[in-house]
Structure 1
Amino acid sequence: MTPTFVFDGDCAFCTMCARFVERWIPTSAKVVPWQFTDLGALGVSRSAAIDAVQWVSPPSPVLAGPEAIAALLRSSNVFWKPIGWLLALKPVRVAAWPLYRWVARNRHRLPGGTAACAVPPSK
C-alpha cells in the first residue's frame, strides 16, 4: 500500500499546507483530505482525522500530528529527510505536540485560514 498523508480538506490553512507538501516535498505518499478518502480502509477514525493529520503506511502503526509530519518528511529526499529525523527525536516530538495543538486550535486565524477551519471544541 502506498503511504498516505491525511489532512482536513475543509480547512483552508490545512489545504494550503498540503499544497506546499505537494509542490515542495517530493514523496511517493498520497496527500489526501480525509473527507475524500475511505478512512475505514486506512484504519483511521473520523475523530482522529479531525483531531490531527495522519500518516498511514502499513504495516507500521498510524501516526498523528508531528509524528505524521516527521514520517512524511522522512519519506522525502535528502533535503527533507534529516528534518523528518530531527522532528522524530523524542525531545523534539514532545516539544512539537503543544505547538501542533496550538496551531490546530488557532488554524482559522492563520494565513489562509477561515472560520470553517476552526476545530469544534472537544467535549
Structure 2
Amino acid sequence: MSFRERPVLVYDGDCGFCTTSVRFVERRVPTSAEITAFQFADLAALGTDVEQASREVVWVARDGRTYGGAQGVARLLVDAGGIWRPLGIIAMIPPFRWLAHGVYRLVAGNRGRLPGGTPACALPPDRRPGSTGRTP
C-alpha cells in the first residue's frame, strides 16, 4: 500500500454543480486534502478510474484507500476538523450512513438540475462538450 503526504479529493470538473460544491469546500472547509478534477488526475495512481470518478466524488486517504460518494464526503468532513468533524463521523455510522448514501445518490443523480449544474453534468464523460468521444 502506498502512502501519500496528503489525502486527495477527486471530483468531476466538467460538472457545474460539482465545481460549485468544491469551490464552497475550498472557501469554507479547512481540509488538508489536495482537490483535483478527475480530468486532470492520474486516476490509476490514485486507485480509482473514470467510471467511479465521473459517478461520485472520491476521497483518497493518505494510506491509499479510496472512499466514494457519501463516505468520501464524510472523510473530507472528518479531515476538516472543527464543527465539520462530528458531521463526518455521524455520516459514517449506520443508520446515518445509509441515509447519507441515499441523499448523496439523490443529489448525484440530479446534479444537472441543481443550482450550478449544467446539462453536461447529466452526460457520460465521453459525450460531454469538448470530449474526444472516448473515455479518458
Q: TM-score, normalised by structure 1?
A: 0.92
Do the aligned partners of residues 61 and 90 (structure 1) sit closer, same or farther apart at CA in structure 2, a change above 3 Å counting?
farther
The equivalent of 1:83 in structure 2 is 87
Percent identity of paired positions between Structure 1 and Structure 2: 46
The residue type equivalent to 2:79 in the other structure is S
Which structure's CA Rg is the greater one? 2
- Distance across 1 between alignment mates of 2:57 and 2:32: 17
The equivalent of 2:99 in structure 1 is 95
The equivalent of 1:29 in structure 2 is 33
- Distance across 1 between alignment mates of 2:107 and 2:97: 15
- Distance across 1 between alignment mates of 2:123 and 2:110: 8
The structure richer in helix per residue is 1
RMSD in angstroms over aligned alpha carbons? 1.1
Whether contact under 8 Å (1:11, 1:114) holds in the other structure is yes
Q: TM-score, normalised by structure 2?
A: 0.84
Count of matched residue positions in the alignment of Structure 1 and Structure 2: 120
Q: Does 1:118 align with 2:122?
A: yes
Whether contact under 8 Å (1:6, 1:32) holds in the other structure is yes
Cα offsets for 1:93-120 (capped at 9, x unmatched): 1112122111111101000111011144
